[in-house]
Amino acid sequence: MTAEITGGACLCGAVRFEVTGPLVTVVHCHCTMCRRAHGAAFVSWAAMPEAQVRVTAGSEQIEHYRSSDIGTRSFCRTCGSSMFCTLDTHSGTIDVALGCLRRGAPLEPKAHIFWDDRADWVELADGLPRLGGKTGLEPV
In the complex, which residues of this chain contact Zn ion (CB under 5 A)? 10, 12, 14, 29, 31, 34, 76, 78-79
Nearer to Zn ion by Cβ, of 31 and 98: the residue is 31
Nearer to Zn ion by Cβ, of 10 and 19: the residue is 10
Minimum Å gap between C-beta 85 and Zn ion is 8
Please name the residue ranges forming H helices in 12-119.
Answer: 32-38
Phi, psi of 105 (to 5 degrees): -70, 130
SS3 17: strand
Minimum Å gap between C-beta 140 and Zn ion is 16
Minimum Å gap between C-beta 3 and Zn ion is 26
Nearer to Zn ion by Cβ, of 2 and 134: the residue is 134
Minimum Å gap between C-beta 136 and Zn ion is 7
Nearer to Zn ion by Cβ, of 14 and 94: the residue is 14
Whole-angstrom distance, CA of residue 128 vs CA of residue 101: 22
Contact between residue 86 and residue 68 where contact means Cβ atoms under 8 Å apart: no
CA-based R_g, the chain, Å: 15
